[in-house]
Each structure stands twice: as structure tokens, then as C-alpha cells.
Structure 1
């Protein structure tokens, strides 16, 4: 299977000592997805130097977005882009902005590239990597205008909640990459995770809520995806949250 990352597997170890917010499932790609890697990855996928695991990011390997996209424009990053439905649609609607999809599932990234190609979307790039390491090492400080996290894995069993992405260490990573006044958007169909998100961000000095009351309005820029339909079909309410990055001191 073609890989988008720099092949330094001989010098890395396959495991981390800290929990991550995903389980990297295997599985073969379709012929079309294989074509996506071989033909489209050179344009869409950002090569990543690895550190401790196959989806890690080596410290000191920060990218320069202006060089990646060939221009200076607002940058919108989606963590956990899945098959790319939301971000491909958004990139097509916002040609004035640049978009980055962060995902660990190769088949989803391949599907994203194929859909982007069909839609004629050229302002989108992809990275196969663990999201916290992307925020800590790959993206420059204050380089992101909006950071999206839509329907992250809820890890709803109590013994697994430590794997949730939006936990106390997360706000500092998000605040690092967001410019002053940048926006963090979140959505989930799991009420206890929504409450955890709200509590974690409510305790963060670097963020101010952009909503009154308990929850935010549904983000109009988010199209209806399979994850959202699945949650609604099971009778779960969709909860949106949005926060603005406070000015740096």
C-alpha cells in the first residue's frame, strides 16, 4: 500500500506510551482508493517525518503553510476528517481559504482525495498523523484561523474516556496554533462528551465562548454527514460549541 509519509520506519518504534484518541484499524483499500494514493497523494498529502510511531510527528518538522498552498490565505483545519465529506464541501464553498484535513485512516484520506479531485478542489491538503502532534509540532504557532472537531470518537465506556481528544491537555495545543481571535468549533452527539468539552474549554484561560446559554447554534458551514445522521437516527441530540481564541498577552 503506498504511504504518504517519509519512510523512516527503520528508525521508529511502533508504539506510544501515552493513550491516543483513535484505534488505527486495518483493511484493504479499493482499487479506486489505491489510485488515489498513487496519483493524487503527491499533490494532496503533506509528507510527515515520524518519531515514536507510524502516525507520529517528529519535533522540529514544522511546515510553512504559505509554501504548501502557494499563497497566504486563511487556514482552516479539521481534526478527524473521516471520509472528507465536510471538508471537501467546505473547501469548494470557500476558495478564498485553505483547508487541512487531519486523519489517521488511510482509506478515508484516499476517499477525500478522490472526492476533492472530482469537485475540482485545489485548496485542500491532507496529513496522516496523530492530531495532538500535528498541533504541537507540524503547524506553526498562530497559523490557523479555524480549528474544527466534528463528531470525534466519544470513547463512551468509562474505562476508555481517557482516550478522548478534548481533555485537559487539549486547549493549550489548540490555543498554540490558533491566531488571536481564531475560532475552535466542536460538535458531538454524545451528551456526556459535550459536557466534558464545555467544561474543559470553560476552564481554559485562552478561550472565550461564542454562545449564550448551554450550547451553541449549529454551525451552518457543516454539511450533514453520515456521523450526524447516525446520531440523529438513534435519537441523540447534536450539540455544537464554539470558542474564540483570546488575544495573547
Structure 2
């Protein structure tokens, strides 16, 4: 961790940080200080893309969750430097956050960009995008909320598409039932650029939470 990241964590965590401990239900309006829509981002790396999206859409609050401490410090630093009051950083397990700390129908969107693909077959069960995870997420997403996933690991992209298409709480926003073009609001990340340089194909998926 750099000195700047450590300093940002020390200064800004009491103001913009959220410890995911499963001990309380979070009032998102209180956390952000307004009633704007809230999108949950799971896994944000160093936070550059998150900061860009927050700057590009100041009317949307982003609750960004990761366990990587340098990344947390970096995102807090970026938010501070760029005057981004619509970012909050969560430290801990996103499953605990969804299950224990968020109210039903409290989220306006969910973003999962470049999650660990767990490429070995025996590790596939560790992948985040699974039916059980989607069932949990659906309880916290408002009807009409969009789940946006992106990956440069094609077998995982195919699994994501299969699992999301089969889930009764979600529908594909693409009429052809396939992958979506990268939306303008999702920046090209450094990690993504490295993958593209290696010849990887990046796939986006945009699924909508259906009405009950």
C-alpha cells in the first residue's frame, strides 16, 4: 500500500467507509446523505473505473465492495481528489452485505466486472455468478434494476449467460438473448486492456430484474 492510499484510508474511512460485519441493516439514504439510486459494485480492483463511473453519473450512488486494502485506499483517494460524494467503500464479504445488511428492494443495480473466473473445473463452484447468488441478489434489487456483468474469460461468460437466462427473476435486455455491447458508462479498465492485448474477448451481460 502506498503512503497516499494509507492516508486516504485513515482520513476517509470514518466518513465514506462501511465495515461489512453483518450486525445491522444499513440505511442507504443515511449512508449517502440522499435518496438517490444506489448501485452495488462487487469487486472494484484499484477503483479507477468506479471513480470514472461515479464522476460521469453524479446522480447515482455507488456502494463499491472489495477486500483489497490498497484498492480501498486508492478509490477513497480518487473520490476525495475528484470531489465524488456519491461513492462509499465497503470492506468485507458481499454475500454477507446482501444477506444481512441490505433491505429488500433497496438496490437500483448490481455491477460485477471481471470477477475471478476460477478457470479450473474443480473450482467452478467458487464462481460468484451462480443460481444461489442471483436468488439472493434478486431479493435486494428493485424490479427493473439491472445486473451488469463483464468478463474476459469466455467459458465464464457462457456460464453467466446460461445461469442468468435460466433464472426466473431476470430477463435479458438483449432481444437476441445474447451478450450486450459494452455500455458507454463502463470505462475500459486497465485490467480489461491487458486482456484485450492478449487477444481475450470481453463480454458484457445486462439482465433486468423482472416484476414480481
TM (normalized to structure 2)?
A: 0.96
Contact 1:207 1:245 in 2 (8 A): yes
Q: Is 1:212 aligned to residue 175 of structure 2?
A: yes
Task: Name 1:36's counterpart in structure 2.
Answer: 8
Task: Name 2:17's counterpart in structure 1.
Answer: 45
Query: Aligned with 2:131: secondary structure?
Result: coil
Query: 1:203 deviation in Å?
Result: 1.3
Q: Is 1:97 aligned to residue 60 of structure 2?
A: yes
Higher relative contact order, structure no. (Cα contacts within 8 Å, ≥ 6 residues apart): 2
Task: Specify every segment of 5 or more residues in structure 1 that has no aligned partner in the other structure, as ranges.
Answer: 1-28, 50-56
> What is the CA–CA distance in structure 2 between the aligned matches of 1:87 and 1:153, rounded to whole Å?
18
Match for residue 226 of structure 1 among 159, 169, 190:
190
Task: Specify every segment of 5 or more residues in structure 2 that has no aligned partner in the other structure, as ranges.
Answer: none
Task: Name 1:17's counterpart in structure 2.
Answer: none
> What is the CA–CA distance in structure 1 between the aligned matches of 2:143 and 2:73, rounded to whole Å?
33
Contact 1:211 1:217 in 2 (8 A): no
Task: Note the alpha carbon deviations across 1:174-193, whole angstroms, 9 max, x for none.
Answer: 21111011100011001110
Query: Aligned with 2:143: secondary structure?
Result: strand
Query: Aligned with 1:46: secondary structure?
Result: strand
Contact 2:19 2:92 in 1 (8 A): no
Query: Aligned with 1:83: secondary structure?
Result: coil
Query: 1:168 deviation in Å?
Result: 2.0
Q: Is 1:78 aligned to residue 66 of structure 2?
A: no
Contact 1:83 1:111 in 2 (8 A): yes
TM (normalized to structure 1)?
A: 0.82
Query: Aligned with 1:76: secondary structure?
Result: strand
Moved segments of 4+, more than 4 Å: none
> What is the CA–CA distance in structure 2 between the aligned matches of 1:78 and 1:41, rounded to whole Å?
18
> What is the CA–CA distance in structure 2 between the aligned matches of 1:174 and 1:62, rounded to whole Å?
15
> What is the CA–CA distance in structure 1 between the aligned matches of 2:183 and 2:138, rounded to whole Å?
20
> What is the CA–CA distance in structure 1 between the aligned matches of 2:175 and 2:119, rounded to whole Å?
27
Task: Name 1:171's counterpart in structure 2.
Answer: 134
> What is the CA–CA distance in structure 1 between the aligned matches of 2:131 and 2:20, rounded to whole Å?
26
Query: 1:212 deviation in Å?
Result: 2.9
Task: Name 2:80's counterpart in structure 1.
Answer: 117
Computing the radius of gyration from Cα coordinates, the structure with the larger value is 1
Query: 1:221 deviation in Å?
Result: 0.7
Task: Name 1:7's counterpart in structure 2.
Answer: none
CA RMSD of aligned residues (A): 1.1
Query: 1:159 deviation in Å?
Result: 2.0
> What is the CA–CA distance in structure 1 between the aligned matches of 2:186 and 2:20, rounded to whole Å?
28
Task: State the aligned residue count.
Answer: 211
Please state which structure has a larger fraction of its residues in helix. Answer: 2
Query: 1:64 deviation in Å?
Result: 0.6
Task: Note the alpha carbon deviations across 1:6-53, whole angstroms, 9 max, x for none.
Answer: xxxxxxxxxxxxxxxxxxxxxxx221121011111111101333xxxx
